Amino acid sequence: MNTFLEKWSEAAYTTVGFFWMALWAFILGYVISSMIQVFVTEKKMQETMGGAEHKSVLLGTFFGFISSSCSFAALASAKSIFQKGASFVSSMAFLLASTNLVIELGIIISIFLGWQFVVGEYVGGVLLILIVWILIRIINPKKLIENARNNLKNDDGDEMDSDKNWKQKISSTEGWVKVARQYKMEWGMVWKDVSVGFTIAGIVAAFVPDSFFQTLFINSGQGTTDFTFLEVLEHVVVGPVAAFLTFIGSMGNIPLAALLFGKGVSFAGVMAFIFSDLVVFPVLRINAKYYGWKMSLFILFLLFTALIGTSLALHYAFDLFNIIPDPSQVTIGDSDYFKLDYTFVLNILFLAASAFLIYLGFFKKTDVSHNMGKMAPKSRILETVLKFAAFVSYTWLVVGLGIRWFL
């Protein structure tokens, strides 16, 4: 019994420590994302993405890069862009870029996994887009695309924000009030995923033995980066399965990815795990609601094929240049997370910035009304389950920290 209580306290402490390590990065990322969401309108994106294919793909990638990292927001925006006349491939480029190339994700990855994974994330995001583009050109699914557009004809969508000069917005109080409200919405989109994801990471770190990962991922846990092709391929296929089972978005999955790598899973397997936020069932269901089941399954095929190809390409390219990171660089054991260092200082500074935004969003009196970014229709059952899981996580953490205090 004492052993269980000790592991419970260790799991709770690890979860809170993980979140403390990432807190300033979350705040910075969502401040930047909120500024972009307010000062660069979706209407402007749509107006520029209906031209030549190569140009529209580049623009879709760029606008995705400066957009929100939330998968559900990205799905809604990609649908809206496609509905307003952008090509299907540029919509897919936007979707992939907005979930793999965004700034805040790179910051979180750098904290938990190191610079090699940041490079892998951004280079891999571009590779995902290129592979999807090539597959679409080869398959040329004109009928599917036409049917998908027809499914959206009766969906009028939401009206866009009025397109005001960005210089006027950035220099006005009203513009920053909108940023503050968008910042609140960004956290509102991810708090459940982050809460559950970090809690699961702490539980896995404390309770799950290495033998489990060695069974799930062949030849992992041997302290080596030298895997056979079949072993790497198995890791790449199992990575998305593990992501599917966690049901957590990309931001919440990063500490889990760090755990997997620290337990000896290959670089390719961990990258596949990180890339898998768009091949889980909720995303499949939402795409079916937008475009029909045939197109939804086709998108699943595109994304799954692309992530396997990208993860393998990254692994062997990094191996060629001898820059595959060492699993020992990821420390997931019991650490002094709360010591006085640069993380502590940055957290205090960014918490102060967050408090200022909360003041602007809640207490600053203006006549401005902010048209919040659209969200894909979520499953009420899934959202209820996630919300319940988040509150269970908080209870678990409070009790676990209490046990640590008294032990």
pLDDT 10s digits, 20-66: 988 887 788 778 778 866 776 656 656 666 556 788 888 888 888 87
Q: How far is CA 382 from CA 188, 202, 317, 348, 389, in A?
A: 16, 22, 38, 34, 10
- Which is nearest to 315 in space by CA: 181, 215, 184, 225? 225
Dihedral sign, Cα of residue 91, residue 189, residue 197, residue 263: positive
pLDDT at 390 over 80: yes
CA distance 136 to 244: 25
If DSSP states are collapsed to H, E and C, what string results for 166-216? HHHHHCCHHHHHHHHHHHHHHHHHHHHHHHHHHHHHHHHHHHCCHHHHHHH
Q: How many CA atoms lie within 13 A of 93 on its CB side?
A: 24
pLDDT score for 139: 94
Q: Is there a contact between 63 and 102 (Cβ–Cβ < 8 Å)?
A: no
3-state helix, strand, coil in the chain (%, to 5): 75, 0, 25
Helices (H), 101-172: 103-112, 115-139, 142-151, 166-170
The DSSP H or E segment spanning 308 is helix 293-320
What does the block give as tokens for 275?
């890339």
- Which is nearest to 361 in space by CA: 190, 189, 175, 191? 175
pLDDT band at 309 (very low <50, low <70, confident <90, very high): very high
pLDDT 10s digits, 63-118: 888 776 667 677 877 887 787 778 899 989 989 998 888 888 888 899 889 899 99
Q: What is the mean pLDDT of residues 7-27?
A: 88
CA distance 295 to 287: 8
CA distance 202 to 256: 9
